[in-house]
Amino acid sequence: MPERNTTLFYRTEDLAPEEVLDYYVETPGDAAIIDALVSRTPVVLRGSRGVGKSFLLRVAEAEMRDRFEIDRVLPVYVTFSRAALLQQTEAGFLPWMTGRISTAIKRTLTTYNLTLPRDSSLIALTGATNRTAPADLDEAIVHQYEAFWEEQGQIADAGLLPDSDQLREAVEDLCVELNIRRINLLVDEAAHVFVPEQQRQFFTLMRDLRSPRLAVKAAVYPGVTSYGPSFQPTHDATLVDVERSITDVDYATSMRDIVLRQVDDNSGEARAIKQYGEAFDVLSYAAMGNPRVLLKTYAESRPFNRARAQETIRNYFREDVWSEHSSLGERYPGHRDLVDWGRSFLEREVLPALHARNEGATEASSAIWVHRDAPQAARSALNLLCYSGLLQEGVSGIRATRSELGTRYIVNVGCNIAQDAEPVQYGSQLRDSFSIKRMTEFGANHPAFKRLNQRDLIQDDDLRHTALQHRLEQPASILDLTPWQKRKLKELKLSTIGDVLEAKESLFRTLYYVGDVRARQIRNAAVTAVIEYLSG
């Protein structure tokens, strides 16, 4: 059992690798995720901040480590969260990634007491000699890359780092030489710390490394990941969402166990959780299956009782979560309008509508439905809310009133119940009568969407950005439109993406057979082509 103290661990990096399994509370959903991470299939592990992506990667690593002598599957944990490099998108980024991976593989072999053969391809292709420590050269070059990005210096021996084909072939040779069935590359912080161009390069690398001897498992965030044209998550990998649904039968029990793993079974804390079980369960439902949020809000409620739980819900879900989301506008100035609109949309439109609808209802809900033809800028703002955990994206293609199609989202339950003067009482009502089918609908032309001017998303400072300017000047023919729609753009003499973005939807409607829906599709295609560059 783990050492018990009053400090709660919120983040996986605070735990030693050998401690991870002591804190693991297995649910059927988590067990299925671990199985996918251990398998030979590439995996994109998607989830918002704090839901446990890093923790699950570490659990999978620990299970593979414990069974290595039997299964001969080697887990290699890699993180790309080195800030010195990640603000740039130059040609050196791909060698830096392969260098980091190569170094991680060599380090892992050392921890398993495995020695690289003197004639190993992994040594040969990096230019190391038999007298050179296997990892030294890679680490030195990677360090040069990171210093280069920070200091604009020169890189020596850059050509010694392997490209994707060389790395894949070297790993395949290595597995044969050391009797390793497969290397599972567990990539944490895989893409969200990169700007869009770097994200696309990473996923191209992930696709190119795929082989029977090497499987990449990458953790990403929803809403802010750009896969690029050469990688399709559902075809080139298994897309796995980290979700602990509040509708699961064992949800409350498993969330309670997560906290109890970190407190003494015989302590007053454990007794208080049991005594004020209703308040604790509401707190766990407010966390929406996010262990980090639950641990934080529980810590703020200690010594735990109903009154402190209510106060924590009010403070955390009325202030803290919104402050964290709004900070995205500071980190990514190009997305500021999207961040601000998304917050306003939830606070002014969605949450009051949900609360009013739930009052006295036999079925309560925290679900909304957004029409598939809603403006692209609005849907991108909703994706950022998913990134922050304020929304949980459900299923696309859901039919609502008049059989219209759209996407169902679950609004953060904590934000929902924090509106009420008695959050615990309201939360208990919501929990007992929750229905995912009861949705508050927002159609394609809802007034709230009209307050988001898509053209205003591109600020003057952004226009001076070389990459964005280049994007705006690219031909409209590359937009994701039908040939018929592209011919219509030619009729309007809209030759570039910037031209299409500047045009009003009313201009598109002057065309024969183009109404509101097709006009919106054309405009959305241009916004989609540009919006990923706004933070870069």
What is residue 534's predicted lDDT score, i.e. its pLDDT? 47
- Give 213 or 11, the one with higher predicted confidence: 213
Question: What percent of the chain has a predicted confidence (pLDDT) above 70?
Answer: 80
Instruction: Of 87, 50, 468, 530, give the one whose Cα is nearest residue 338.
Output: 530
Instruction: Of 249, 306, 315, 303, give the one whose Cα is nearest residue 282.
Output: 306
Residue 26 has pLDDT above 70, yes or no: yes
Q: Where residue 160 falls among pLDDT bands split at 50, 70, 90?
A: low
What is residue 159's predicted lDDT score, i.e. its pLDDT? 54
Complete DSSP assignment for 136-176: HHHHHHHHHHHHHHHH----SSGGGS--HHHHHHHHHHHHH
Ranges of H-type helices in 210-327: 233-236, 251-260, 268-275, 277-286, 291-300, 306-315, 321-326
Q: Where residue 4 falls among pLDDT bands split at 50, 70, 90?
A: very low
| Three-class DSSP category at 480 | coil
Of the ranges 79-93, 108-122, 202-216, which is most confident? 202-216
Complete DSSP assignment for 295-328: HHHHHHTPSP-HHHHHHHHHHIIIIIHHHHHHTH
Phi, psi for residue 454 in degrees, rounded to 5: -65, -35
Residue 512 has pLDDT above 60, yes or no: yes
Residue 532 has pLDDT above 50, yes or no: no
Instruction: Outline which parts of the chain fall under CATH 3.40.50.300.
Output: 12-241
- Give 142 or 318, the one with higher predicted confidence: 318
Could you list the beta-strand ranges (E) of 167-225: 182-188, 214-220
What is residue 452's predicted lDDT score, i.e. its pLDDT? 75
What class has domain 457-531? Answer: mainly alpha
How many degrees, rounded to 5, is the angle at CA 371 between CA 366 and CA 375?
A: 115
Say what the alpha-carbon torsion angle 252, 253, 254, 256 is, to the nearest 10 degrees: 80
What is residue 306's predicted lDDT score, i.e. its pLDDT? 96
Of the ranges 256-260, 307-311, 320-324, 436-440, which is most confident? 307-311
Residue 458 has pLDDT above 70, yes or no: no
What is residue 116's predicted lDDT score, i.e. its pLDDT? 74
What is residue 198's predicted lDDT score, i.e. its pLDDT? 76
What is residue 509's predicted lDDT score, i.e. its pLDDT? 83
Among 184-193, 374-383, 492-501, the range scoring the smallest mean pLDDT is: 184-193
Q: Is 288 exposed, middle or buried (0-12, 13-18, 19+ CB in 10 A)?
A: buried
Distance CA 192, CA 45 (A): 12
Q: Which residues pair with 408 in a beta bridge?
A: 369
Instruction: Of 235, 415, 403, give the one whose Cα is nearest residue 315.
Output: 415
* Mean per-residue pLDDT, 189-195: 59
Residue 482 has pLDDT above 90, yes or no: no
Residues 116, 123: contact at Cβ < 8 Å?
yes
**pLDDT digit string, tens, across residues 93-149:** 777 788 788 888 988 998 999 887 776 666 655 444 433 444 454 555 455 444 433
Q: Which residues pair with 371 in a beta bridge?
A: 406
Could you list the beta-strand ranges (E) of 378-477: 391-399, 405-411, 439-442
* Mean per-residue pLDDT, 360-389: 88
What is residue 331's predicted lDDT score, i.e. its pLDDT? 63
Instruction: Outline which parts of the chain fall under CATH 1.10.150.
Output: 457-531
What is residue 453's predicted lDDT score, i.e. its pLDDT? 60
Architecture of domain 12-241: 3-Layer(aba) Sandwich (3.40)
Among 306-320, 376-390, 448-462, the range scoring the smallest mean pLDDT is: 448-462
* 3-state DSSP helix/strand/coil % of the chain, to nearest 5: 55, 10, 35
What is residue 332's predicted lDDT score, i.e. its pLDDT? 66
Residue 195 has pLDDT above 70, yes or no: no
**pLDDT digit string, tens, across residues 403-440:** 899 999 999 999 999 999 999 999 999 988 888 888 99
Mean pLDDT, the chain, as a whole number?
81
* Mean per-residue pLDDT, 279-300: 93
| Tokens read off for 53 | 């992506």
What is residue 127's predicted lDDT score, i.e. its pLDDT? 47
- Give 84 or 505, the one with higher predicted confidence: 505
**pLDDT digit string, tens, across residues 64-84:** 999 999 999 999 998 875 533
What is residue 150's predicted lDDT score, i.e. its pLDDT? 40
Residue 230: count of CB within 10 angstroms of its CB? 12
* Mean per-residue pLDDT, 512-518: 77
What is residue 91's predicted lDDT score, i.e. its pLDDT? 53
Residues 236, 210: contact at Cβ < 8 Å?
yes
